[in-house]
Structure 1
Amino acid sequence: MTHHHTAKRATVVGAGIAGLAAALRLHQDGWHVVVLEQAPARRSGGYLVNLHGPGYTAAERLGLLPALRPRDIGFFGSILVHADGREKFRIPAEVAAAAVGDRALSVFRGDVEAALYDAVAEHADLRFGSIVQGIDQTATEVVVTLGDGTRVRSDLLIGADGVHSRVRELVFDAGPAAFVDLGHMVGAFPLAAPPGHVPEGAGTTYLGPGRTAAVMNLGPERSSAFFTYRCADSSAELSAGAGPALHRAFGDLGGGVADALAQMPFDTAYFDSVGQIVLDRWSRGRVVLLGDSAWCVTVFAGYGAALALDGADRLGSALAEHGADLTAAFDAWESALRPEVRKRQTLARRGMSRFAPSTRAQAWANEMTLRAIQLPGIRGLVRRAIQRANN
């Protein structure tokens, strides 16, 4: 026999893209939603995310396009540079535009979070500074105990609290085994002042053995830097901190990279080890994991935000379809989404060598590929390959 609450209650842990998207979708379906976020306030900035294919469609279904379109950066020219910042060659913006088509958005991660936050803030109960201490579930409900002793009861708990998920740790006894360390670090931060050595409306990329640095000049408040490099011991890099680690890994480079490092905001830079989360199940009882906490594909897949939006939207559909039968909803959702996640994780593991080539020869081969993209015949091949990957 099913008990009908006046409204179904859901608790979401994590106010990133996955968590806010889930909160928005469930609210649209009539759920009462509480969002618990351990950070004291909203974070902003981050790196550029591309929404195309299923990610764009999910953003459209969630009603986010009107807020995101004005923030769309569009396509920009890319300049490959030497270590000192001198130009090697350019890849025009049209190459990327032709490849992806018009159902695509390039926006900062923070813009997606802001659009979601604005859409959900007055409808969901958002509680910042909430530390999850314990999770208990029975046949009829799941109870989250917070650091201050508060208890939050609901019918359903969504863990959308990222790679280092507390929900996963408490409910899935997968332990550290779920984290597959890929031996790379990644750093990203917005630049308050446009980098002087990068032409406006373009980005420069330095590709060398074991590392990549990309710096974008899209004008004041819209410029950013992105770094990735191979490392033997990610915990040592993390304990050194973003500033010292990135200066040590990239301090010898000139041009836009030097400009970016000089104005790096130590406290707000995104800096983490690159790893994938691999679990054999994404749900347990009334608890389900979503986004990076379930399947982190890493920044090398370039698809995390799209998968978070698409996964949240599909989860909402499965819950709507299966009513009170959470197990059936979770199973249907997971079996439909898993092949896409597996594909993205595989692409990311392969893609690492593009971002951090292991040898000079590989760096040179990558460069040849990029130069070749500009030839008209190859441009068509690239466009078709990207379209296949997005379908």
Structure 2
Amino acid sequence: MKRAIIAGAGIAGLATALRLEQDGWRTLIVEQAPARRGSGYLVNLIGPGYDAAERLGLLPVLAPKSLGVFTTVLVRPDGSPKLTVPAAIAEAALGDRVLTVFRGDLEAALFDRVRAEVRFGTTVTAVDQDPSSVRVKLSDGTAEQADLLIGADGVHSRTRSSVFGPDFRVDFPYVVAAFPLSDRGHEGATTYIDVGRTASILELGPDRSAAFFTYRCADPEAELARGPAAALGDAFAGVPFAADLPIPGDVYFDRVSQVVMPRWSAGRVVLTGDAAWCVTLFAGHGAALALAGADRLGAALAGRDDIPAALASWEDGLRPLVIRRQAVARRGMTQYAPPTRFHVRLSEMTMRAVTLPIIRGLVRRAVARQSH
């Protein structure tokens, strides 16, 4: 029976463990965080991501958690409506095989299904390998041996830096924040777009509400050092409906980065998810790619003893999709943080245009092409 050590208990790591376990692998997951984390932002499972969720048996668990489609209202700084995009627009563009859930709900569904031992508060501190196995030292003082080490430890991956080097993260002059909201008695989705910044608030009732912020800044590191409350308060000053939100302790607050690598594997070590190809939240397909990557990795490894060859085959098949999603994300940066007032108006014109039936059909076909 083959054994895999997986660094990271997020979507990519848990999905990979679940997929390998379906083929009889034994798995050990190590996670730097002291406990399983929840997140407030939304993830869309579409195209290969939806297909992978189906094959992993997640749809019956996730379907009751689905947020469905909803009307979005583009607002002015005071929250007054400027433009409404009906739910039917999103439904027409995305099609039937799509699932929108909170990231925390997806992670919980995966966590409940894996059989792996999960060691929280633990990281990989050293890696050594030969043609027959890979050996790791862990921060809890133990040493483990396996057939495969999988780095699924996110955009700031320690596995990546220790095995492949530190020079593959590409940082952009933006930060993002996302967090759950307590029920405030409202209902609906509102979005405010201005030069260099976007605030989006989704309120669908208890445990179904969240906020998303992003803005352009000269020094993302300095913004992160200030903390989310101070940084967001200043960045969205003059936008009352956004600036006055209470920020919980489990806020996601980070710089916007992509990971661009020539290879995702070296011998018996492979990276997956954001550790290998982070596309940023601007792409909107990070969770879907993590699931698809896990599903395809399991398929590539199934029944094969030549693990390096299987990893190379997996990468050859997945890389074109990743490249397309990363390109979409780079273009999307001007949509989430428009550089000029002209770009703001252009974004509004685009939103108005998608309400037209002929444009709606074109958008649906374009999304279908990008997702496969």
Q: TM-score range by the shorter chain?
A: over 0.9
Q: Which residue of 2 aligns with 1:229?
A: 215
Q: Distance in 1 between matches of 2:299 and 2:306?
A: 13
1:113 counterpart = 2:107: yes
Q: Which residue of 2 aligns with 1:12?
A: 6
Q: Which residue of 2 aligns with 1:159?
A: 151
Where does the alignment leave 5 or more consecutive residues of structure 2 unmatched? none
Shift, 1:129, TM fit: 1.0
Out of 261, 264, 275, the residue aligned to residue 247 of structure 2 is 264
Shift, 1:298, TM fit: 0.5
1:212 counterpart = 2:198: yes
Residue 300 of structure 1 aligns to a residue whose secondary structure is: coil
Q: Which residue of 2 aligns with 1:131?
A: 123
Task: Give the letter aligned to residue 118 of structure 1.
Answer: D
Shift, 1:258, TM fit: 3.6
Assess if the C-alpha contact under 8 Å between 2:232 and 2:243 holds in 1: no
1:279 counterpart = 2:261: yes
Q: Which residue of 2 aligns with 1:389?
A: 370
Out of 138, 162, 173, the residue aligned to residue 170 of structure 1 is 162
Assess if the C-alpha contact under 8 Å between 2:45 and 2:98 holds in 1: yes
Q: Which residue of 2 aligns with 1:331?
A: 312
Task: Give the letter aligned to residue 333 of structure 1.
Answer: W
Shift, 1:353, TM fit: 0.5
Q: Distance in 2 between matches of 1:60 and 1:106?
A: 14
Count of aligned residue pairs for this structure pair: 372
- How far does the alpha carbon of each residue in 1:39-97 deviate from its partner, in whole angstroms, 9 at most, with x for none? 11000123100001110000000111011000000000000000111110110001001
- How far does the alpha carbon of each residue in 1:272-293 deviate from its partner, in whole angstroms, 9 at most, with x for none? 1001001111001110000000
Q: Which residue of 1 aligns with 2:86?
A: 92
1:72 counterpart = 2:66: yes
Q: Distance in 1 between matches of 2:48 and 2:123?
A: 32
Q: Distance in 2 between matches of 1:376 and 1:218?
A: 27
**How do 1:187-206 residues align onto structure 2 when only pairs under 5 Å count?**
187-194=177-184, 199-200=186-187, 202-206=188-192
Q: Distance in 2 between matches of 1:370 and 1:209?
A: 16
1:292 counterpart = 2:278: no
1:59 counterpart = 2:53: yes
Where does the alignment leave 5 or more consecutive residues of structure 1 unmatched? 1-6
Residue 282 of structure 2 aligns to a residue whose secondary structure is: helix
Q: Which residue of 2 aligns with 1:364?
A: 345
Assess if the C-alpha contact under 8 Å between 2:49 and 2:291 holds in 1: yes
Residue 40 of structure 1 aligns to a residue whose secondary structure is: coil
- How far does the alpha carbon of each residue in 1:352-385 deviate from its partner, in whole angstroms, 9 at most, with x for none? 1011000011001101110111122222222222
TM score, norm. by length of structure 2: 0.98
Shift, 1:234, TM fit: 1.2
Q: Distance in 2 between matches of 1:8 and 1:251?
A: 55
TM score, norm. by length of structure 1: 0.93
Q: Distance in 1 between matches of 2:40 and 2:183?
A: 16
Q: Distance in 1 between matches of 2:233 and 2:264?
A: 38
Q: Distance in 1 between matches of 2:368 and 2:127?
A: 42
1:252 counterpart = 2:234: no
Task: Give the letter aligned to residue 290 of structure 1.
Answer: T
1:26 counterpart = 2:26: no
Assess if the C-alpha contact under 8 Å between 2:233 and 2:243 holds in 1: no
Q: Which residue of 2 aligns with 1:150?
A: 142
Shift, 1:387, TM fit: 2.1
Q: Distance in 1 between matches of 2:128 and 2:24?
A: 24
Shift, 1:148, TM fit: 2.6
Q: Distance in 2 between matches of 1:336 and 1:252?
A: 47
Q: Which residue of 2 aligns with 1:3?
A: none
Assess if the C-alpha contact under 8 Å between 2:40 and 2:211 holds in 1: no
Task: Give the letter aligned to residue 264 of structure 1.
Answer: I
Task: Give the letter aligned to residue 57 of structure 2.
Answer: G
